[in-house]
Structures are given as structure tokens and as C-alpha cells.
Structure 1
Amino acid sequence: MATSKQPVTVPTDASVDDFLAAVPDERRRADAERLRTLLREVTGEPAVMWGPSIVGFGSYRYTYDSGRTGDWPLVGFSPRKQQLVVYLVGGFEERHASVLARLGPHKTGKGCLYLNRLDDVDESALRELVDRTVRVHKGVDRASRHGQ
């Protein structure tokens, strides 16, 4: 009999404050704190740990073509060793190319935005990307949620 795998990346009761305080690199920790504030301001949602390493804001329910469903943060981030990873919406690279052009140095891949330092990016462009992502997930923006 087949068993269903339980998702690892789900909301937890872990402390976001403790998680961010444990980021070893001082600059990365400061960027993570700034990003938490920015995402909270744009989404209006509190920061919640999703799994062991993602700070998420709000949530939405997704359904794959296969019928499998799950929950994921509207937006989130993880202060990784090499870069800050911001979790947006699949397909944002094409849908929001004009905003990305204003953002500054970054890399993208499968719904993720990779940033080296927040000081190097245009904060208004980042806020716009986050706002547009939230609008897609909440169904305010009629664009489809790619990557699902």
C-alpha cells in the first residue's frame, strides 16, 4: 500500500527571532532582519517559521495538476550562507521583467529570487515584486501561478 509523504516545509511554532539571531554572518543577519520588516510591511502578515529554515508570511493553498494539494507562504525568505533567497511566485521572471530590470544585482530560478546584499538592490522594486506576488496568490492579479 502506498503511503503519502508528509511535507517538511509547514508552519511551525519555532521562534523567528531565535532563527534570525542564530544567523552567523552579521551582515546576512542584518539583511534578514530588514527583509523580515519589509515583507511584514508589504504583506500585512506576521513572520512564521516554515520548516527549519524559511521565514514565511501568510499562506495560500495550491493544487497541482495531479490533484495533490498543499500550503505554502504567500512570500518568504531564507538567509542562506551564500545569498538571501526570497520565495515569490513561479514565472515571476517573465511576468515582472520590467521590475526585475530596476532591482539591481540578482539571480532567479523557479520562483526564487537570490540576492547578495539588500543594500545593492532597489527597495521599491523589491517591494513591488513582493506586492505583485501576494496579489497573484490572493487571486487579485489574474496571472496564473506558474510552477505548480
Structure 2
Amino acid sequence: MRDNMDTASEELERRSKYLSSLIQKTKIKSDGVEEEKREKDGKDNHQPEQQQQQQQQKQPVRVRAADMAPALQRRAFRCAREVLASMPKLDSKRLALALKKEFDTSYGPAWHCIVGTSFGSYVTHSLGGFLYFSIDKVYILLFRTAVEPLDH
């Protein structure tokens, strides 16, 4: 019994250190390079879109922990910002569902998303499929789990 407790404790400590090593304390720049080019070229002069983009860029994204390719991270940020901008007030369920659907359709099944202003979590994820970030005071945990076929 004691051995099992020690083993579990060691595993928890190992995973905790691993997640801590993933924490990044940098702000990821918005990937609105294409929008900026269109604005400079004068090809897209829709006032509401420009205001929406400016509003989205004012909300800094802060990566709390990540084990995900930068391109996928930027896609998650863009999707989260778009959905947040379309809501008059935060609807955590709607935001989580939108991110899950976006990633399920683009990168295959088994994506999960948790959204809130205050929550705790401990999850197991597939390699390269974990992102925990915040936009303003909204925290978003997006992760992928392994899909295993059922044997009947």
C-alpha cells in the first residue's frame, strides 16, 4: 500500500514538473498579419471589421502552458477571439464548444475544451495537443486525448 502511494506521488511530481517546464511567460502576438496587409493596401475598408480587429488586438493573449505547435496555438487564439468578440457577455459553454468543433473538424476527433474565469484541472493529453491560455480574464484549456478503438 505504501509503495503504491510513493509511486503515485512520484508520478504526480514528475508530471507536475513536466507541466511547469511548459509554462511560457510571453505574450503571443496576434496573427493578424493578413488583415494588416489588407488595411494598408486599402482593399478592405469595412469599418465594423476594423473596429472588431482593433478590439481583438487590445485583448492580450497570455499562454500559461503549452505543448502545441505555434500554428495551432495561433488558430486557437484567433478562434477564441472571434467567438468572444461575437458575444455581448461571456458564454463559457458556447466558447468551449466552438473551439472543440473547430479543432475536431480541422485536426481530427477527441479534442476537449474547458473555459471559465476560475477552475482547476488535471488532464492527460496526447503529445503536442495541450494549450492553456487566457484572454483578458477568461481562461481556456484546450487539449486532445488519444482515441482508441473499442474491442467488443
Greater RCO structure (CA 8 Å; 6+ sep): 2
For the superposition of Structure 1 and Structure 2, which TM-score range results when normalised by the shorter chain?
A: under 0.3
What is the TM-score of this pair, normalised by structure 2?
0.27
**Greater strand proportion:** 1
Say which one has the larger Rg: 2
Q: Name whichever structure is richer in helix by fraction.
A: 2
State the TM-score, normalized to the length of structure 1. Answer: 0.28
